[in-house]
Structures are given as structure tokens and as C-alpha cells.
Chains A and B, each alone.
Chain A
């Protein structure tokens, strides 16, 4: 039930965006890609203003204005410089990425403890199901928007706008500046997209720099579905179709997830769907020649029927699912496991979780059921997956990664949430301290131990040094880690740092090269997904320029890094399993403090050391818990240190240091 109403709500919120795309795509015949950026811009502006204390309703017109400004720029470039609409959109979208990062100041802004349109709405709830109440309110809003937009498109101004797209030569001959109307239309469209972003951010409880990626295709799909279902010339019916298309699309996404489809496949299916529908509509429209077109044309009726039957059976299936009583398979606990993507961080945590659960006596499918979902890197999907796990009636939800945790805690209030592999739960407002946190939330966290890594470095290489680092500011965790890095540096006045920011993996090699050219003595790498995913580029430069790499990622020792000092995310999963066990045995999550990661791997790579002509001092040789030598990785088995034992490895390395880092940071 939650899943379906949740997706109807998302459909409503995305309908603003779909109406925007309807304007550019149906009226001006080009899909405006700017919206991939504008959607995030709307969310970004709304979030910083809400955090700043603005009324969450007042931020909507601001998001509209900022969105239309972006659209204005696209329209201006498109009309004045005669640059194709598609290209103009790509240009502005690319530029908006930087703008959005600047507006947000970081890659992610949490809103869960702020007043949002939806929190205000839920305060007015007379006692209905929360999602249902939201759906009712949104339905009312959608009716108003629908009527207003349809009426607007029927006014003299709106008619002129439509004619501008339909026959620019003719309307210019009748005294209309096509350029001006086009700019207006694109601005209006992007304004609506901005509102959509502002609303979605408030609904899902955060704004994220990556939330707009791929919007245009989803939006196009909505418009096309709407058109296919509601075939009419009436503006009212057409706009209604767009709203319905948006809702149908979101329900289709939920349905795909429900039947266990991989969200990655969902993307290619959407792309194929849009492609096929466009080919089909070309065939309908222009009577084109060719085998495919002929087939479609000759089967016009048939395909219409197929579409109808498909939609009908989909609707019936959903109806069946929402009416059918949820299968509450006896009493065994149901555990929802939510991962954000397929990176090694996630899979290691997951494996650790599964293995430790088994050791604790939970046999999946036998005396417990673990329902695992992966958002495959798509941020809004996390939210839908949380809804999905709710419909599965899980007793406890385990969220791995910051993005999944954010989605989980924004939504879930009445069942326990255990997070794992989160750098800093406080920045996402899961709590204010280890023991003072949201009552249904607990988990395992830890920032990369950058200060310890620097300590080891200075121990190996005393004296003045210049170190270099590369990071991608688009990740929330990176921002947190970099702040830590800079703080840690203040303890090592002999080190000078050169840093290079990148946007995406393709820039990493150049960044490494530029650092090498600045004659750095070592690469010190924090845990940053972009850098982890393109470590090979840094290694390549490291080999060429004979500069060693020190990394916080325990898992890449064998890949050409000289030395690693970092958390084992496998153990993070193990710790999470213990927390789940405690909660299932009756402990209240409110009383379980957040835990830091317990196991650190200190690894050295002798092969790389040989290549670089470096010898590890004995102090380091003896304490290393992992070694890579002659192409072989030797690692201690990963076991949880006994309670209250503290950080064994850490103490070994740093025992002679004056300040004790093992106390951790505040």
C-alpha cells in the first residue's frame, strides 16, 4: 500500500517536471536537457533556504524563479546564437552542475529535522495514513495546477506560444517574436522543473547534487505515456495525460522493483521504451516508409490495444497487490537490507553482514528473511526502495551508505533502522551524539582515519614534505573527509599540501599528473568514491613519477598502493549484524549508542616498495596486519575485536605517540 501511494505521490511531484518537458518537447519539439540541472537547482535553492529558516512554502516560488532563470539562459543561447536547443540545454546543464555545488556548498543537504511542506502537512493530518493524507493533499494541488496550466495554454498568450512551436514562420509573419516566446516557454518549463526539485527534496528529506541525473528521459517517458493513454487535442486532456503519465511511470518503477527487477535494467528499459514510442509516433504522424514503420502502421489498432491491455493488467495487478493481505509469513523476523550502489564498500559491508548474521544463528530463508535491495547509484530510487521494504513489512531496516540511510531515516519512524558504512551520521541528522540520536536509529560509522595515515607517513618520512591529494567535491563524505584532512594537517606543520578537485573519474589522471608536476613527495588519498573508482589512473602516474600512494582504503593494497591504513567495511557489516541481533532480542535502538568501526587494516605493499626503492622501517613491518608481497596478499582473518578491547591495531602503531588517537574524535 505504502509503496503504491508513495509512488503516486512521487508521480505528482515529478508531474511538475513532466509538464515542463511537455512544454519544451510537445510545443517546441525539442526535449530540454537543462532540466537535469534545473531539477537539482530547485532542490538546492529550496534546501539552503529551508535550512536558513525560510518558510518551506515560500521557497517554492524562489525555486521557480531560479529554475526559470536557468531556462532563460538556455532559451537565450538557443535563440540568439542559433544554437540547437538540445546543445544549448547540454551546455547549461553542464554549467549548472558547478552552480548547484556552489549553491549547496556541499553535495548533500539533509532536511529531515527541518520544517518542510510535508512536515507541515502531516501536522494537519486528521489521523489518516501519512502517505494517503499526502496523496490527498497533492491530488488537490495537482488539480489546481492542471486547471491553471491548461487554461493558460488556451489563452491568447498560450495559444501564441503553442503556435510559435507549431509554425514559427507563420506566427512571425503575424507579428510575434518567436525568440521571445520560445525563451518564455523554456523559462516557464524550467521554472516548473525547479518547483518539482524543491518539492522532491522536501519529500525525500534531502537535496543531493546527483538527484537530477537522467531526469529528461524519465520526464519524456511520462509525457509519452500520457500521450499514449490520453489521445486528444484538448489541452485539458493533454495536460491531464502528462500528470497521469508521471504517476503511471512512477508506479511502473515501483512495480518493476516489486517484482524484483534490477533498477539498472530499469534505465535501459525506459530508454528503449522512449525510443520505441518515438519511432512509433513518427510512423503514425508522417506516414514514413520502411519495414518497421509499415509494421507499426499496419498494426496501429493492434498496438493501441496491446498498450491498453498492458496498462489495464498493470493496474489490476497493482490493485490486487494493494488489496491482497500482505503475506506475514509466520513469526520469523524480516530484515530489509538497502544498499546504495555496487561499489566494494557496499558489497564488503553486505558480505560481512550476511556472514555474521549466520554466525549469530540467523539463517536466511529459514528462521529469518533478509530482503535485499540495491539502488544502483540512483539517489531517488533509495526512497522508493524504502517504501518497497515498508510494504514488505520488514521488522528492521539495515541501510548501508549515507544515501540509503538518509532515505531510510527521512521516512521510517516506527521500525528500527540500523545503518552501516556511513562516514558521519551527524551531518545527516541521525543524531547529535553517539548516545543522543533518533529513537529508532542506531548504527556503525567512522570517518577515514586520515590523521593516523599522516602520522604513519611522517614516521616513515621525517622532515619537510609536500603531499598531494585528489578529491571529488560532489560527494558528501568527501567533503567531510577533506575537512578532517585539513584539520589533521595542522598537527603536522612539516607537511605542505597540494590539492586538486576533480569532477568525475575521467579527470583523475590529469589531476595526478598536475600534482606530479608540482613535485609532490606522495599521494595521500582519502576515501572518495571517484578516486577509488579510478585508482588505476593515480597508480599509473605514481609508477611513472615514482611517487608513493598512501590510502585510507584498506581494500586496494594489491592495486599498486604503497601503504593503506583504513577501515574494513566487512567488519562494519559484522558490527551491524550484532546491532540487529540486539534489537531483535528486544533492546531499544534508542538505548544503543552509535558505534565506530572497530577494525582497521594496516597494509604494506612490498612489491611497490621495491619498485620505488623504499624500505619500510621495522616499526611498520612488524605492526602491519596485511602485506602484499611477490604478487600475493596476506591478510589476518577479519574478526571483531572483543568488546572494550579498543583498537588493537591502532594502538600497536601509535603506542609510542604522545597524543592518543584511539580516544577518537568528538
Chain B
């Protein structure tokens, strides 16, 4: 479904604060794979997702989605195939529009928008059904302005919007990080339900080791712009959180990780 070959991305190239955000990334993700991505701060996880979504163009390398070359396609041109949920719950919805209007915008993802009014009763009842899946009593608040919802509710609606028109690829970038644990768990449940329900190909960045192992079918570990580990389904099933940490140790032994990194990883993931 996704094929990334030899992708490099440098920020502020040539200047003092030059950052190598992605180095020689080669990655192939098959259809219906649900990949979780972990790594330290600044290791390039968001950049990887941005490159797939087309919000950022790589300096070199190529990107294929669903068999089509997308390297030079802008984000809005890829939106037909790729949908995304951001970390910031305020980024995924239009605050001054109603829930129904937001859903309509998502319903038209990747399609042409005409000067006709299609937000009619039928459309609304369809949205109502969809909203009831969230289990947040939002189905009766279609005409509520988005900004009056809580962060968790907004993130749930964003998630629904991302899958409303089934995408080929779903990108989730720490989409629960800004939520309280209870709401986060709720959104994670929804994520699982949608991804398995629609049989989506998904990439999910997370800082929770638990999520990384429990969710999905495959886990990538990133560091300094590289994918330093790629753990497949079978291997993952045998892993516990501790095993994961030991894995970090192993990597250190192979001199891929510095002691300070282990420290940060431990702090972040346990």
C-alpha cells in the first residue's frame, strides 16, 4: 500500500541549526497493516507521517501510495487516499463550524465541491448514525459549533471524520497525547474499532509503549531520522513491555542507542 524508497529530509539545510529529520528511509507497508511508530522526541516520526501525507516534500527518494507515485503530489492531492488525525485536538476540526458542517467537509474528502446545498435532512441522519458510534451523545448535537466541544470529543469527531470516507491510508500522530487518560482510552478504543472495522492501512505514532505493543500488527522504532527497528506481528506477540525495554538495551549493545537515550526512553515509556 505504501512504498517509501530512499527518502531523506533535512530542515534548515545549510544553516547552523540544520536537522536531519529523515535519513535513507526505506519502508514498505502492506494493505491492512496497522503499524505503530515509537521513538524519542525529534526522531522524525511526525516528519515521516508528514512526508506520507504530502504536507512536507522529501529532499530525495520516492513515495508510492496504492501503487501510484505520489512524491511530488501536494497534501490536498493525496487526500483522496490518505487521511490524518493530528496530535492537537484543535487542528483536526474547524472550530466555528458545526459538527454537521465539519462532517460534510470530511464526507467530501478528495472530491470536488459544487455550489449546491447537500446538507439536507437525509445527509444529517446519516451523520447522526455515524456519530452514534462514538458513544459520546453527540448524535443529537449536529448543529453544535465545534469549539464548544471538549478536546476529547473533538478528537473523537476528528477520528470519525478521518474514516467517514474510507481512506486507503490512515495516519495518526499521537492523537491521544493531549487527552486525559480516560478519554485517551476511549479514543484508542474507537481507533481500534475503526481500523479493524474498515480494514484500514494505518500508521500510528505513539509515546505509550503499551499502545505500541497492544495495538496494530507491526511496530517501528525510530531514532535520529532512521528506522532502527521493525518488529513484525509474530515477534510482537511474544513481547512484553519489559522485553521492549530490554530490546532497547540490546540496541545499545549494538551501539545504536546511547545510554542517555535509554534513560529518556525509560522515562517516557514506562
Binding site for B on A (CB under 8 A): 151-152, 154-160, 162-163, 166-167, 169-178, 233
Q: A175 near B145 (CB under 8 angstroms)?
A: no
The 8 Å CB contact of B76, one of A157, A166, A172, A233, is A172
By a CB distance below 8 angstroms, the chain B residues around A175 are: 76-77, 79-80, 108-111
Chain A interface: which of B14-22, B92-100, B126-134? B92-100
The 8 Å CB contact of A155, one of B79, B98, B114, is B114
Decide yes or no whether B106 CB sits under 8 A from chain A.
yes
Q: A156 near B94 (CB under 8 angstroms)?
A: no
Complex CA–CA separation, A413 to B33 (angstroms): 82
Not counting A155-B116, A233-B98, a sample of 19 additional A-B residue pairs whose C-beta atoms are within 8 angstroms of each other reads A155-B114, A156-B104, A156-B113, A156-B119, A157-B116, A159-B119, A160-B113, A163-B97, A166-B96, A166-B97, A167-B94, A170-B94, A172-B55, A173-B92, A174-B109, A175-B76, A175-B80, A175-B110, A176-B79
Decide yes or no whether B115 CB sits under 8 A from chain A.
yes
Decide yes or no whether B91 CB sits under 8 A from chain A.
yes
The 8 Å CB contact of B108, one of A156, A158, A172, A177, is A156
Q: A174 near B115 (CB under 8 angstroms)?
A: no
Question: A170-B92, A175-B109 are known contacts. Are A159 and B79 too (CB-CB below 8 A)?
Answer: no
The smallest beta-carbon distance between B40 and chain A, in angstroms, is 25
The smallest beta-carbon distance between B177 and chain A, in angstroms, is 17
The smallest beta-carbon distance between A421 and chain B, in angstroms, is 53
Complex CA–CA separation, A159 to B106 (angstroms): 12
Binding site for A on B (CB under 8 A): 53, 55, 74-77, 79-80, 83-84, 86, 91-98, 101-102, 104-106, 108-111, 113-119, 145, 161
Q: B75 near A157 (CB under 8 angstroms)?
A: no
Complex CA–CA separation, A166 to B101 (angstroms): 12
Most chain-B CB neighbours within 10 Å: which of A163, A169, A170? A170
Q: A176 near B113 (CB under 8 angstroms)?
A: yes
* CB-defined A-B contacts under 8 Å, sample of 24: A154-B117, A156-B114, A156-B117, A156-B119, A157-B114, A157-B115, A158-B115, A159-B104, A159-B113, A160-B105, A162-B97, A163-B102, A163-B105, A166-B95, A167-B91, A167-B94, A170-B94, A172-B79, A173-B75, A173-B83, A174-B108, A175-B108, A176-B113, A177-B76
- In chain B, what residue has the closest Cβ to A27? B96
By a CB distance below 8 angstroms, the chain B residues around A171 are: 94, 105
The smallest beta-carbon distance between B140 and chain A, in angstroms, is 18
The 8 Å CB contact of A172, one of B75, B111, B116, is B75
Question: A172-B75, A175-B110, A178-B76 are known contacts. Are A155 and B115 too (CB-CB below 8 A)?
Answer: yes
By a CB distance below 8 angstroms, the chain A residues around B77 are: 175
By a CB distance below 8 angstroms, the chain B residues around A170 are: 91-94, 105
Complex CA–CA separation, A33 to B135 (angstroms): 47
The 8 Å CB contact of A169, one of B91, B117, B145, is B91
The smallest beta-carbon distance between B142 and chain A, in angstroms, is 13
The smallest beta-carbon distance between A550 and chain B, in angstroms, is 61
Q: B116 near A156 (CB under 8 angstroms)?
A: yes
- In chain B, what residue has the closest Cβ to A166? B94
Q: B119 near A174 (CB under 8 angstroms)?
A: no
Question: A162-B97, A173-B84, A176-B76 are known contacts. Are A155 and B105 too (CB-CB below 8 A)?
Answer: no
The smallest beta-carbon distance between B135 and chain A, in angstroms, is 23
By a CB distance below 8 angstroms, the chain A residues around B116 are: 155-157
Complex CA–CA separation, A172 to B54 (angstroms): 10
Complex CA–CA separation, A175 to B86 (angstroms): 16
- In chain B, what residue has the closest Cβ to A181? B113
Q: A159 near B115 (CB under 8 angstroms)?
A: no
By a CB distance below 8 angstroms, the chain B residues around A163 are: 94, 97, 101-102, 105
By a CB distance below 8 angstroms, the chain A residues around B91 are: 167, 169-170
